[in-house]
Structure 1
Amino acid sequence: MTLLTKFNQAVDHPDAGRLLLRCVLGVLMLFHGFFKLTHGVSWIAPILAAHHLPSVLAYGAYIGEVVAPICIILGLFARLAGLVYAVNMVFAVVLIAGANFWTTTDVGAWGLETEALYLFGGLLVMLLGPGKYSISKA
C-alpha cells in the first residue's frame, strides 16, 4: 500500500467534512447576524428602496444571517437553510457589494471573494446535506 493510499484512507471522513463546513459557514455568518441583532436592519431599507424593493425585506437578514446559520450548524433542515443562506448572499451582492464585481483588491483578490465563498458554501450545504453528525438525518 502506498503512502498516498494510506493518507487517503486516513482522511476519508466525508461526514466530518460536512460538519466542519456547516460549523465554519454557520459561525462566520452568525457574526453578521449578531451585528444585525444588535444594530437592527433599518439601514437596509433605503438600499432596498433604491432598488424598488419593499423595506420589509430587510427583516429577511435575520432569517438569512441568524436562523439559517443556526440551522446549518445544527444540521436541522440543513439543505433548506443552505439555500436560504445562499439567497441571502445573492441579495447582499445585488444590493451592496455588486459594484465590486469587476474589481480586485490591493493583493489581487476578487472584490467579491468573501461573498462568493459564503454563497457557494451555502449551495454546498444544500447539495451535500447535513451528514450523519446532525440533528436531522433528512
Structure 2
Amino acid sequence: MKKQVNLGLLILRLAVGCLMLLHGIAKLKHGIPGIEGMVESHGLPTFLAYGVYVGEVVAPLLIIVGYKTRLAALVLFFNCIVATSLAHGGQIFSLNETGGWALELLGLYGFGALALFFTGAGSYAVASRGRWD
C-alpha cells in the first residue's frame, strides 16, 4: 500500500478514535445514568448501558493504536447505530439550524468507523496483518 494511503488511514484512525474517546472519557467521569434511563425507556435491561464503555472507550483505544482495527471499528459503528436509535431516532431525517444533517457528528463517527472496517488500519499500526486488523 502506498505511504500516502497508510498516512491517510492513520489520520482517520486518530481522528475517529480520539474524538470518540473524549465522549467515553466524559462517561467515565460522570457515569451513565442518562444512558441507563434511555435503555430502560426502550424496555431493555439497564445493564446494556455499560456497553457504551466498550463502544466509546475500548473500541476507540484499539482503533487509535491499530490493533484489531476492523473489529473495533465494527463495534464503534454498532455503538453509533444504537446511539442513533436510542437517543436520536427522531432526528434521522432532520436538518439543524445551519442546514446540516442533525446527526452529522454521529454520522461522521459511524461512517468513519465503517470505512475503517473495510480498509483496516494500514501499515502504521500495532498490528496490520491479522484478519481483524
* TM tier relative to shorter chain: over 0.9
Alignment pair present for 1:87 and 2:72:
no
RMSD, matched Cα: 1.3
Distance in 2 of aligned mates of 1:103 and 1:126:
27
| Residue 26 of structure 2 is aligned to residue 35 of structure 1 | yes
CA distance in 2, matches of 1:126, 1:33: 20
Matched, 1:61 2:52: yes
TM-score, scaled relative to structure 1: 0.89
Q: 1:73 aligns with which of 64, 78, 92?
A: 64
Counterpart of 2:97, as a letter, is D
Match of 2:7 among 4, 8, 16: 16
Matched-pair identity in %: 41
Could you tell me how far apart the structure 1 residues matched to 2:65 and 2:16 are?
12
Supply the distance in 2 between the matched residues of 1:12 and 1:27 (Cα, whole angstroms). 22
How many angstroms does 1:12 deviate by? Answer: 6.5
- State yes or no: 1:108 paired with 2:99: yes
Name the amino acid aligned to 1:79.
R
Give the Cα separation in 1 of the matches to 2:77 and 2:93: 21
Give every structure 1 segment of 4 or more consecutive aligned residues whose post-TM-superposition deviation is greater than 4 Å. none
Q: Give structure 1 stretches of 5+ with no counterpart.
A: 1-10
SS in 2 for 1:110: coil
Scaled by the length of structure 2, the TM-score of the pair is 0.92
Aligned residue number for residue 116 of structure 2: 125
* Count of aligned residue pairs for this structure pair: 128
Q: Deviations over 1:74-113 (max 9, x none)?
A: 0010000000000000011000011111211111001111
| C-alpha distance in structure 1 between counterparts of 2:73 and 2:125, whole Å | 14
Q: Which runs of 5+ in 2 are unaligned?
A: none
